[in-house]
Every structure is written in C-alpha cells, then in structure tokens.
Structure 1
Amino acid sequence: MSGTSLDGVDVAFVETDGERIVALGPTGYRPYSDAERDLLRQALAEGAALTDRATRPGCLGEAEALVTRAHAEAVEAFMTTEEIGHDLVDIVGFHGQTVIHKPAEKLTVQIGDAVALAKRLTLPVACDFRAADVVAGGQGAPLVPVFHQAMANDLAREHPIAVLNIGGVANVTFVDGGDPVACDTGPGNAMIDDFMRARTGAPYDNHGDVAATGTPDQAFIDRVLTDTFFGLKPPKSLDRNAFAFANIGLPDHSVPDGAATLSALTVQAVGRIIAHLPEPPKAWIVAGGGARNATLVSMLRQRVAPASVETADEVGWSADALEAQAFAFLAVRTLKGLPITFPKTTGTPAPMRGGIIVRP
C-alpha cells in the first residue's frame, strides 16, 4: 500500500479467508526517497488534469514505473527478510498510487502496472479495486471499512466503535454488528504535511510538536467547515487535494499557529461526522500516520469525550501497517468473489465485488 501521504510502501502478510482474520503476520516498509516523492507529487499535480483513466501523459508514465518498481522491491525484500516462500502466498494486493479521484465524474486513477508487478513477482496480483464501484455510481472510497469491521467486531471495547484512519485524507468506519457505515471525514495529514514542507522544508510535523506550541485560528476553521462537503451524510469521499492548504485561503500565520490551525481543522471535521453516524461511537481507534501525531490524538480526545480514544498500536493493531493489511484482506475477498464495497460505505446500490486479478 502506498498512501496519500507519499511516505513509502507498506507491506503486510495476512492469513484470512476473506471473512475472518486468522492471523496478522509480519510487516515491512520501503520508504520513498526525496527524489521519488518529488516525482510522485508532480504526478499528483499533473494527474489532476486527467480525463481518461487509461492514459499516462507527462510524468505519469515515469511515476507509474516508479510505483511498480517500488512495490516490487518492497515485496521482494520483505519475503526475503521474513523467509516467506512463494508457496505461502496466494495473492498480492496492489492498490497503486491515487493521482485523481473524482467519483462524481466516474473517474478514479491509481497508477501502477499490475501486469508488470505480477510478472516480476511471479505471483497473482489483485488490483484496480475502486473502478467498478465508481462506474456503478459509488464513491469508490473508502475501501477499508469491511476490513475495519473484521478487526473491530471482536475487539474488547464498548460498541459502537469508530475506526478512524488519518492518512492524507481521513476516513471513519462505524462498527456495530451490521454492515459498516463509512466515509471520508475531510482532510487528514496532507494539508499539514504540505504546509510544513512549504514553510519549513520539513516533510511533516513530527508528533505534532510544532502544532502543540501554536494557537488555532477558529474563525478560519469555521469558514472552511461551511463547505458543503462537511454537511453531507455518508457515504462521501474526497480527493487528496480537495482541501489543499494553498487553495483554502489560510492566513499568513506563524508556523506553529498554521500547523495548529490545520490540525484542529482535521479534528473538527471528524467531529462534524458524528451527527451523521447511527449513534455516537463509544470508542475510537486511530490508525494511519495521524496516530503518530500526539497533538491530533489529544485534540480528538477533547472533541469526542466522553468516548475513549486509543491508537491502533494501543489496542494491539498496527497503526502503520493497517492499510497494507486491509488490501491483503481485500485481495483475498477479490479472489473469492466477495463484495468489497457496500451501500453504506460508498453508496453503491448493492454490495459490490471489485478488483481484478492479474496472473503472471
């Protein structure tokens, strides 16, 4: 899995029948270099103009080759390090790198050459998980709720449980026994990361230490939250750049105040979704890069009290590898012909199968 934060490729080994998690095995990580991240950012910028999901103009072809190579290297190194033989792997889940996601236009593009990956790994690859859902009129995101549900159903916490993934975009899954309810809540780490990079050159606000010393601009936050997106009920989804800090008129704050403002915006956007859920969650589990941001987690605890808030690591999950584990799980569901999206997660008219399988 290579996410919207553009930090690198996460790898996870999962044993599952597509319904139950039998075992979560080892995990791995292959970081992107600065030059690779620069190319992927350029691909995101150029991808915003795409109208045809099959074309790769400009730098997109080069970026696709990079994504494919990085994922191959990540899997090869992981299998070698963990001594995982090919005979133990039934399928590889390959999400690819999203460069544009506009479900209203029935367009979603994840770059990455699954045919080349399958040939290099000599293993079957499940890919293109979002397209069928979008063509059927769904949002095509979030895709991880059925995995969150499998993880949370047996968790010894008071239900209902909300699993909040804070990546570049934040999404939530509401788990209470029935089919999951899910949606994107708003911006996640992407705005904060882009702001820090533009103002300081740092790739992100490490642990939220900078934001912790600043003061949020509540008037600005209130103005952004008037956007129609935040009033929509689930299901709903966002493109990574939908709330790019450079496009929403962020005042020329100090770095601490700017970081604090964007962090508070992320958390308050999460708070806005509670009224649209079947009932307020009693326990929140935070995953993704945001789980490493102590300031975000602290702000969330204040916003959703008296509900409990724990990170994925604190409940025995892996905050870093959860999405990679999810796409391993979705790959098996694809292999078995099980649905991966649902009316209350993406807005499809019925539970939808998704993904295609490429064999070497």
Structure 2
Amino acid sequence: MGVNKPIWVTGFMSGTSLDGVDAACLLTDGVDICEFGPSVYRPYSAAERQMLQSVLGKWSGAPGLEPVSELILAAHLEAWSQLPPAELIGFHGQTLCHDPQNFRTHQLGSGAEFARRAGTAVAWDFRSEDVACGGQGAPLAPIFHWALARYKQIGEPMAIVNLGGVGNLTWIDARLPAEQGLLAFDTGPANAPLNDFMVKTTGQPYDEGGALAASGRVDEELVALFLQRPYFSRSAPKSLDRDSFSDMVELVAQLAPADAAATLTALCVAAIEAALPLMPVQPKQVWISGGGRKNSEIMRQLAMKLPMKVYDIDDIGLDGDMLEAQAFAYLAARVARGLATSFPATTAANAPLCGGKISLP
C-alpha cells in the first residue's frame, strides 16, 4: 500500500439512524481529496433494524451480540462486493454505546474479520484511543470536512452540520492548518428521537419529507424547557450518545402525533440554533448533510432561523448521502499514513491523535 501517494479507499458507515450501510470510494493521500469514486447503499430490512435496535446500549461481552455482529459484517461485505477493488477499507462498525466520561465507547464489528473475508487491509476502531486519552471520541468527520472545504476552495469561515441520529457541527477555516482551523461538537438530537417516534406511532421509519411535522403545531414551552438542559450551555467540544435524549419521545407522548412530530423537529433545529454562540467566528455559510437534509420541514426552519446562508450539501456538488462513508475512507488513509484523525478542538483530546488500527487480510 503506497501510503504517501493517493490511493483508492472504500469507506463504510452504518449510522445511529440504523437505516443501512453506506459505502463510498475515495482517492486520497490522507491530506487532499483527489477524486470521488462510486458508492452504494445497502439498506437494512425492518427485521434487521429490529435486531440492531435490540443491542443498542450493550457493551462488549454482553450476550446476544454475536448474531448482530455477523449481520453487520455480512451487510458490509455485500456492499463491498458491489464496488471496484480498493487498496484499503475504512470500517467504522455500528456504535452501540458511547460513554466518553467513563473512557469507553463500543462499535460492534470486527475489522480483523472484515479484512480476512474481504482480502483487503482494513482500518478500524477509530474512536477507542481518543476516548482513552480523555477525548470525546466524536465527532471524527471534522478533518474530512476541512479537506472538503479545501477541495471546494472556500476562503472564509463556514460550517457543516450533519443531521444523522445525532446532530453534529464542524466549524472550519480552511485557510488555516487543521489544528487551528477546526472546532467540532454534537449539537443535540437530530433524526433519532423523531425516527423512534415515527416507528412507535405510525410504523414508518421516518417522517418522509417532514410532512407530518409540517401539518402540526410546535409546543414552544417544551422546546424552551429542552434548551435549559445543561448540555447546551457546555463549551465545545462535546459529544452525545444516540440515546442521550431518548426521553424526548416520552415528553411529546401527550401531544397529537402531528404536534409531537412538529415539536421533535423543532428540537433538532433549536439545538443547532443554540450552537451558534459556541463558534469562534460566525460562519458565512452552513452546509447541511445527513438524512435530515431530506426533511423539508427541518430545512425550512433552518433557513428561517439561522442568520447565514443555508445550503443542502448536494447543492454544493457533494453527495450528502455518502459524506460519512467518504469521511471514513479519508480517515483510513490518514491512519495508514500515521496522520492525526482527531484534535483537541474536535474531540477535546489532550493532543492530536492518530486513532484507529490496521488489520491485514
């Protein structure tokens, strides 16, 4: 593997929204993005999502993890088989629990077994070292976001907000080296509480297009109460577990379904709005990525409430569906080169760290 020259890497992401596996190819030297390659999406079935849901919150060694680990690996291998060969794989696994305050995090899935079955080197276990060194272990995409801003030649402060199960924000000044030009943190709940509510109430995996929320009325008192939680006044960087705000579904249970969906949607937007004062300089533009950007009601509220230009990242010419998979391809290349994948201003680690390890086939 020529780690000092651009190589093709396939990155994978199975996120906290539990919808499926994203896989994307990237040509990179671990510093610059040279070319975006093909990508595929392997959705989880309803039964598979139920299996994954059943082990959320379980730590390594807990009973019942083996069949779910096999499901995760099989789904990733299925996606891998649909893409051109690559020199390296970036494998994140499935986050089941994340507790950086107690120096632990758990992503289910063996990169060593993936390497054996794929016949290709795998970079994986990206978060453990950061957490062990006092970092939050998340978010890890910021260094890739910095590379994206460089790729697009953005010459002013900007931000990228990813709306997955949890929302996270990266503030970027690509004119500076990464260690000085980044700040990142989780903003709060994004799709997870809304998706959980939709499954429980309607049987649908998400509020398609934000249609249900758009027909409801926001409980503004509930939103104001939500923003009083200590997390929102904490300085960045900081991170959350998928279920850190799982009680939100219970808090809206007394509302009519449309009003509950509207309120959960407003909570996602309010968390992002509350993040603005934490940034060093107000960004001139914000790119929205992740599944939440497909929710028209979320996008409408963001455009209305944020004081800067808000873009769907697809409108910038990037693939918002594959951004996190591309990020782990990029991170894998950095691991192969021994370059930092996290920084004090992105995860609160005490120094820049090269997280992750390489398993050979």
TM-score normalized by structure 1?
A: 0.93
The letter of the residue matching 2:190 is G
Say which of 88, 98, 105 aligns to 1:108.
Answer: 105
Output one character per residue of 1:149-201: Cα deviation in whole Å (capped at 9) or x when no partner. Answer: 10013436572111000000000000113331000000010010001111111
2:331 maps to which residue? 330
2:20 maps to which residue? 8
Please state how far the C-alpha of 1:58 moved relative to its aligned partner.
Answer: 2.3
The letter of the residue matching 1:227 is R
1:71 and 2:68 matched: no
1:169 maps to which residue? 166
1:200 maps to which residue? 202
- CA distance 1:12–1:43, change in 2 (3 Å): same
Please state how far the C-alpha of 1:278 moved relative to its aligned partner.
Answer: 0.4
Distance in 1 between residues matched to 2:294 and 2:337, nearest whole Å: 34
Matches within 5 A, 1:227-306: 227-245=229-247, 249-305=251-307
Q: Secondary structure at the match of 2:244?
A: helix
Please state how far the C-alpha of 1:144 moved relative to its aligned partner.
Answer: 0.1
Alignment: residue pair count: 344
Q: Secondary structure at the match of 1:185?
A: strand
Please state how far the C-alpha of 1:245 moved relative to its aligned partner.
Answer: 4.0
Distance in 2 between residues matched to 1:165 and 1:62, nearest whole Å: 30
1:180 and 2:182 matched: yes
Matches within 5 A, 1:75-154: 75-76=80-81, 78-79=82-83, 84-85=84-85, 89-154=86-151
Q: Secondary structure at the match of 1:252?
A: coil
CA RMSD of aligned residues (A): 1.3
1:343 maps to which residue? 344
Say which of 56, 60, 68 aligns to 1:44.
Answer: 56
Distance in 2 between residues matched to 1:228 and 1:281, nearest whole Å: 25
Distance in 2 between residues matched to 1:217 and 1:350, nearest whole Å: 42
Q: Secondary structure at the match of 1:95?
A: strand
Please state how far the C-alpha of 1:246 moved relative to its aligned partner.
Answer: 5.2
Please state how far the C-alpha of 1:2 moved relative to its aligned partner.
Answer: 0.3
Distance in 2 between residues matched to 1:115 and 1:99, nearest whole Å: 19
1:220 maps to which residue? 222
Distance in 1 between residues matched to 2:71 and 2:187, nearest whole Å: 30
Distance in 2 between residues matched to 1:154 and 1:67, nearest whole Å: 32
Distance in 1 between residues matched to 2:151 and 2:70, nearest whole Å: 40
8 Å CA contact 2:97, 2:107 repeated in 1: yes
- CA distance 1:120–1:96, change in 2 (3 Å): same
The letter of the residue matching 2:332 is A
Distance in 1 between residues matched to 2:247 and 2:312, nearest whole Å: 26
8 Å CA contact 1:153, 1:175 repeated in 2: no
Q: Which sits farther off after the overlay, 147-156 or 181-190?
A: 147-156
Distance in 2 between residues matched to 1:202 and 1:71, nearest whole Å: 24
2:63 maps to which residue? 58
Please state how far the C-alpha of 1:249 moved relative to its aligned partner.
Answer: 2.3
Q: Secondary structure at the match of 2:347?
A: coil
Q: Secondary structure at the match of 1:120?
A: helix
Name structure 2 gaps, 5 residues minimum: 1-12
Please state how far the C-alpha of 1:139 moved relative to its aligned partner.
Answer: 0.2
2:3 maps to which residue? none
1:24 maps to which residue? 36
Please state how far the C-alpha of 1:252 moved relative to its aligned partner.
Answer: 1.1
TM-score normalized by structure 2?
A: 0.93
